[in-house]
Amino acid sequence: MRKNTEKAWDVLRELTDPELPFLTLNDLGVIRDIKIKKDNFIVTIAPTYIGCPALSVIEDNITGELKKVGINALIEKSFSPPWSSDWISENGRKKMEEFGISPPLLKDRRNLGDATSKKVRCPQCTSFETEKVSEFGSTACKSLYRCLACKEPFDHFKCV
Ligand SMILES: [Zn+2]
């Protein structure tokens, strides 16, 4: 049975997010635990943004991929502690920038009093001279920003 949890990690580590296909669920910190409880194979996930339409797709992808390797899994959702954008891995943040999305600021930085430290950096030219255009970008979990230096619009992944 323990072997199965390892096998499941091998499969799920590669699984990508439906809305951000260049990021794995693991990069996003969505998959919290894989365990066996009373003969049930349970994958615990932390849903990202509440009401994110991708959630049911994520669940189907997880159970579907595990079924392919002979594992019938149940999904358990964990809401406490609630998912935080701080759980996105360093690698995930780098990949976001490569794809032109400004990654969420870490909580430590958001809590600093200094206004410049809270500024969103342009993923194209790395300028901090940016402004928010709209609360909602291409999806509900992103805001639309504009860079005042290179004039390019870009998405900023919201911080929670
Ligand atoms: Zn720019």
Instruction: Using the mean position of ligand 1's atoms as its centre, give its distance from the Cα of residue 30 in Å.
Output: 30
Nearest to 10 by CA among 58, 68, 60, 59: 68
pLDDT at 41: 94
148 CA to centre of ligand 1 in angstroms? 7
Residue 33's pLDDT band (boundaries 50, 70, 90)?
very high
Mean pLDDT computed over every residue of the chain:
88
pLDDT for residue 137: 80
Helix or strand (DSSP H, E) at 66: helix 55-68
Confidence (pLDDT) at 119 = 84
The pTM (predicted TM-score) of the whole model is: 0.83
Alpha-carbon distance of 134 to 122, in angstroms, equals 15
Domain 2-77 has CATH 3.30.70.260: no
Cα 160 to ligand 1 centre (Å): 24
pLDDT in tens, 40-83: 999 999 988 665 677 889 999 999 999 999 999 999 999 888 89
**Among positive and negative, which fits the CA dihedral 83, 84, 86, 89?**
positive
CA of 149 to the centre of ligand 1 (A): 5
pLDDT at 47: 87
Average pLDDT over residues 101-118: 72
Domain coordinates of the chain in residue numbers? 2-77, 85-157
The encoded tokens of residue 24 equal 């794995």
